[in-house]
Structure 1
Amino acid sequence: MTHSTYPIGTPGTKWNNNDKGQWFKSQSIKRSYQNDVVSLINELKNSLTVEQYGELNYAAGTYPLYVLKTPQLDKNKPTILITGGVHGYETSGVHGALRFAKTSALQYSEQFNIIVAPCISPWGYETINRWNPAAIDPNRSFYENSPAPESAAIMAYVKSLDLELIAHIDLHETTDSDNSEFRPALAAREGTTNTNWNIPDGFYLVADTNKPEPEFQKVIIKDVAKVTHIAPSDENNQLIGVPQEQFGVINYAARDLGLCMGFTDAPYVTTTEVYPDSPTATDEECILAQVAVIKSALKYIRENA
């Protein structure tokens, strides 16, 4: 299905800086990073280590960036990285990471080092947006000399830790607004014709083509199915236009695409895709699904890796 013309730019022509500026001016603050996210991070200072790893300075404001860590990181323990809010509008990614940090991280600290970056794109969180203020998608920007400061900051921080990661779990959502707003905006920005995809009705995972670990993904799907429904494939056995590798799982070439889950050498990686617009899913269910992914991954690694 082709979407109608986007209101910014000239059809068939890539955006110039004026177009990007017009897009930026059309955005507005809809919620508070400080109230919704930073306040919850600060509540955890007595149990977890809170560290500021960077700061974003935009015309729209200044945003400190934080990680939460289990106490006393130990190079002899396997290290798990959990990221949320790479796309700031994907709410349960942010709050699923925070919920896990609050309720469960310490339970696993004897076996693992756990690092949680709950909101990589705070301006995107506040404006309910996929891009940063420069109309750059952070989740296509995880590579050397990244144009997205959100991506560059977390990559530099993880590198500075000098810890070998065994797993990286990146928490996302697929929303109906992908078709109503974000894919049309992308086509306009790139000067291409937009073709919307079928929004999967339910949860699914995106594995890395180069290290898919299918059994790892399968176990997570099985556990998440206890919390929320798993998306069936479409009539072409696809999810978001990509062939389904197994029930509820597709593969992407993560590093080639500049995806967050591809920037480390961790052998176990996955990107979650929760569906918050389902008529049967609540906000709480979406958060619990994200938490279930993390717990399932940790259990699998503890038993098999």
Structure 2
Amino acid sequence: MNNIYPIGTPGEPWQQHHKEMWFSSQVSHRSYFNEVVSKIDELTENFDKVQYGTLDYAQRFPLFILKSKVWDNTKPNVLITGGVHGYETSGVHGALDFLARFGKEYEAKFNLIVAPCISPWGYETINRWNPNAIDPNRSFYSNSPAPEAASFIKYLADSELSFLMHIDLHETTDTDNSEFRPALAARDGKVNHNWNIPDGFYLVGHTQKPQPEFQKAIIEEVQKVTTIAPADSNNELIGVALEQFGVINYDGTKLGLCMGVTNAPYVTTTEVYPDGELSTPENCIAGQVAAIVGALNYVGQLNREVQ
């Protein structure tokens, strides 16, 4: 693979002017307001719409969550996040589609909080980073440099809620190799050696709380609607050892991942592959919805057993 990126000098980390060059090359390809906020508004008959912040870039982007209208403190709280990487389309629309199709059903068992698009600038420009060339999904920690992460962290802190489960919806796309990995290497002055892109759906569990049976239940549900990614010849996915079929683990807290933002005992990140030969936008969204359903069915059964 070609690791040369048109901005910067190979082997030397970007300076501020390089980041400004990168930002100036970005253009909007779609509308957060027309494609996401409009769908959020369609769901307000059944769910409360709450603005938890605003991103003040060249354009102002309001940040929204949808939550259960009737909050019941006897029910467990679950968190669903999408669009932490704005370019990962099915995460955004999977979260919204889940609420539209199944939200009321699962609201009978859980208090739901859904943040469908944490990075709206990234959604519009089809980017992994924010305008400052910062990856929001490496920025979920105190004093975060990413406003996308900082706004959501503040909302969670102010809400003082505990969560039983958190599922964070992502994609792995071919543009990881054509754009993001070369850009990351250029930004950091390094050489990228991992070009693996799994051909199908997989999960990233948290090494501090891996919950293998929880992950397995999600994989089994997703298998009903889309393909699970096979491991490569090294029994790895994206350079990480396979824990079980379709599952690898990261230390979400240490890496500043969104899945590490709460103390929920059951957490996972989904990864859908939209560039497969048999993939369609609808199929990828269905995979995200199935992952949420599988996760909720598992923790719901567990919660009944405890009670």
**What TM-score do you get using the length of structure 2 for normalisation?**
0.97
- Partner residue in 1 for 2:28: 29
Query: SS at the partner of 1:165?
Result: coil
1:90 pairs, out of 85, 88, 91, with: 88
Deviation at 1:197, TM superposition (A): 2.2
Alignment of 1:91-110 (within 5 A): 91-110=89-108
Q: Determine if contact 2:48/2:68 at 8 Å carries over to the other structure.
A: yes
- Partner residue in 2 for 1:11: 10
Q: 10-19 vs 152-161, which deviates more?
A: 152-161
Q: Determine if contact 1:3/1:194 at 8 Å carries over to the other structure.
A: no
2:113 pairs, out of 115, 122, 134, with: 115
Query: SS at the partner of 1:51?
Result: strand
Give % identity: 63
Q: Determine if contact 2:166/2:268 at 8 Å carries over to the other structure.
A: yes
Q: Determine if contact 1:165/1:265 at 8 Å carries over to the other structure.
A: yes
- Partner residue in 1 for 2:218: 220
- Partner residue in 1 for 2:293: 295
The letter for the 1-side match of 2:51 is Q
The whole-number CA distance in structure 2 between the counterparts of 1:279 and 1:202 is 10
- Cα RMSD, aligned residues only: 0.8
Query: SS at the partner of 1:198?
Result: coil
Query: SS at the partner of 1:206?
Result: strand
- Partner residue in 2 for 1:245: 243
- Deviation per CA, 1:229-250: give whole Å up to 9, x if none: 0000000000000000000000
Query: SS at the partner of 1:297?
Result: helix
The letter for the 1-side match of 2:9 is T
The whole-number CA distance in structure 1 between the counterparts of 2:156 and 2:109 is 20
- Deviation per CA, 1:8-43: give whole Å up to 9, x if none: 011111101100000000110000000000000011
Alignment of 1:224-303 (within 5 A): 224-303=222-301
The whole-number CA distance in structure 2 between the counterparts of 1:83 and 1:134 is 22
**What TM-score do you get using the length of structure 1 for normalisation?**
0.98
Deviation at 1:281, TM superposition (A): 1.0
Does 1:133 find its partner at 2:131? yes
Query: SS at the partner of 2:242?
Result: strand
The whole-number CA distance in structure 1 between the counterparts of 2:196 and 2:132 is 28
Does 1:20 find its partner at 2:22? no
Q: 87-96 vs 190-199, which deviates more?
A: 190-199
Gaps of 5+ in 2: none
The letter for the 2-side match of 1:199 is I
Q: Determine if contact 1:75/1:163 at 8 Å carries over to the other structure.
A: no
In the comparison of the two structures, how many residue pairs are matched? 303
Query: SS at the partner of 1:153?
Result: helix
Deviation at 1:74, TM superposition (A): 2.3
Deviation at 1:75, TM superposition (A): 2.3
1:68 pairs, out of 60, 66, 84, with: 66
Q: Determine if contact 2:78/2:113 at 8 Å carries over to the other structure.
A: yes
The whole-number CA distance in structure 2 between the counterparts of 1:282 and 1:303 is 32
Deviation at 1:66, TM superposition (A): 0.3
The whole-number CA distance in structure 2 between the counterparts of 1:97 and 1:238 is 28
Which aligned segments of 4 or more residues in structure 1 are displaced greater than 4 angstroms?
none
Q: Determine if contact 2:3/2:191 at 8 Å carries over to the other structure.
A: no
The whole-number CA distance in structure 1 between the counterparts of 2:187 and 2:73 is 44
Query: SS at the partner of 1:245?
Result: coil
Deviation at 1:103, TM superposition (A): 1.3
The letter for the 2-side match of 1:259 is L
The letter for the 2-side match of 1:57 is D
The whole-number CA distance in structure 2 between the counterparts of 1:249 and 1:262 is 17
The letter for the 1-side match of 2:99 is A
